């Protein structure tokens, strides 16, 4: 960004669009506008109302730093510090997976099956986005959220406060941290990327999302193989287990539910792109 120019919003957004596009970033104009909003404290309409006003030196310094971080493919969400999910705002950091739009389907499918006073566990909560959204939409439910990472849980706790909901947070792996407890629904968006594929991911994901939030073992299915049988002992009568899955995993995950013989026929639901994204099943009544 040449130093001796007079930088107005219009000029700087145009310059950044070219610069970041050349670095392989797709929505460079929009991202430039978001960073400029954050640097100036103006919303996007405000930016264009002040389109010919030169930026101050301090605004420029903050903005320059953001653009150079983004040019190194640091995710925009880490630079801005937040991500929207199901209409709520979540703090994000390198300690948690950035909430994905695709994961909203898991929330929708859970809401369809949840009685108002359900007890719900979100296993591997990360930022807390699933648990907190469920707690917001089901005010009479009791929502718990677990994660193996205490750093992730700190972020999730702050997100519960930010969104004014009560969620019980528990540290631990899988279901060992909730011994003797049973839930109406257990939901999870576990790590499901096959280890060898992680290298192929976009730099924003590969280099900045926590490895433990991505790595699903050799074939990506490691957590499902443990969680699906383990959940049997943690579901109330009529309870459901719902999981998000990666591309091409529906058949194997559904098979995992079926092979145990303790669940009803699993359902598979598709995301907006027609990709199988959520698999779930209801526990069979014991005879």
Residues that bind ligand GLN in the complex, under the rule CB under 6 A: 97, 99, 103, 124-127, 129-130, 189-191, 213
Residue with tokens 């049988």: 229
Query: Nearest distance from residue 84's CB to ligand GLN, in Å?
Result: 13
Output 118 or 213, the one with its CB closest to ligand GLN: 213
Output 47 or 126, the one with its CB closest to ligand GLN: 126
How much is the CA Rg of the chain, to the nearest whole Å? 21
Residue 28 and residue 16 in contact, taking contact as beta carbons nearer than 8 Å: yes
Output 210 or 238, the one with its CB closest to ligand GLN: 210
Query: Nearest distance from residue 132's CB to ligand GLN, in Å?
Result: 10
Query: Nearest distance from residue 189's CB to ligand GLN, in Å?
Result: 3
Give the torsion through C-alpha atoms of 115, 116, 117, 123, to 10 deg. 70
End-to-end CA distance of the chain: 71
The conformation of residue 24, written as its DSSP 8-state character, comes to T
Query: Nearest distance from residue 120's CB to ligand GLN, in Å?
Result: 13
Phi, psi of 106 (to 5 degrees): -65, -40
Output 191 or 266, the one with its CB closest to ligand GLN: 191
Instruction: Please state whether 126 falls in left (phi above 0), alpha (psi between -120 and 50) or beta.
Output: left
Residue 38 and residue 66 in contact, taking contact as beta carbons nearer than 8 Å: yes
Output 97 or 174, the one with its CB closest to ligand GLN: 97
Query: Nearest distance from residue 285's CB to ligand GLN, in Å?
Result: 29
Residue least distant from ligand GLN (Cβ): 126
């Amino acid at each position: 960004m040449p130093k001796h120019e007079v930088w107005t919003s219009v000029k700087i957004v145009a310059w950044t669009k070219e610069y970041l596009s050349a670095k392989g970033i797709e929505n460079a104009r929009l991202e430039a506008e978001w960073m400029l909003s954050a640097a100036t404290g103006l919303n996007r309409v405000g930016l264009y109302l002040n389109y010919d006003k030169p930026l101050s030196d301090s605004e420029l310094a903050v903005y320059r730093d953001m653009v150079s971080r983004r040019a190194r493919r640091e995710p925009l969400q880490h630079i801005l510090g937040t991500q929207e999910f199901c209409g709520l705002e979540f703090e994000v950091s390198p300690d948690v997976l950035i909430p994905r739009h695709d994961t909203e389907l898991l929330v929708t499918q859970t809401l369809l099956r949840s009685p108002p006073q359900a007890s719900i566990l979100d296993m591997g909560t990360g930022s807390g986005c699933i648990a907190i959204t469920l707690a917001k939409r089901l005010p009479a439910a009791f929502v718990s959220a677990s994660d193996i990472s205490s750093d992730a849980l700190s972020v999730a706790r702050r997100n519960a406060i930010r969104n004014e909901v009560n969620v019980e947070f528990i540290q631990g792996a899988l279901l060992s941290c909730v011994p003797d407890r049973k839930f109406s629904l257990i939901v999870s968006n576990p790590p499901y990327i096959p280890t060898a594929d992680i290298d192929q991911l976009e730099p924003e994901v590969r280099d900045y999302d926590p490895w433990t939030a991505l790595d699903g073992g050799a074939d990506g299915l490691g957590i499902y193989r443990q969680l699906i049988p383990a959940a049997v002992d943690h579901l109330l009568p009529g309870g459901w287990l719902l999981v998000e899955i990666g591309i091409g995993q529906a058949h194997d995950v559904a098979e995992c539910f079926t092979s145990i013989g303790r669940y009803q026929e699993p359902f598979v639901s598709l995301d907006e792109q027609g990709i199988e994204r959520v698999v779930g099943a209801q526990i069979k009544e014991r005879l």
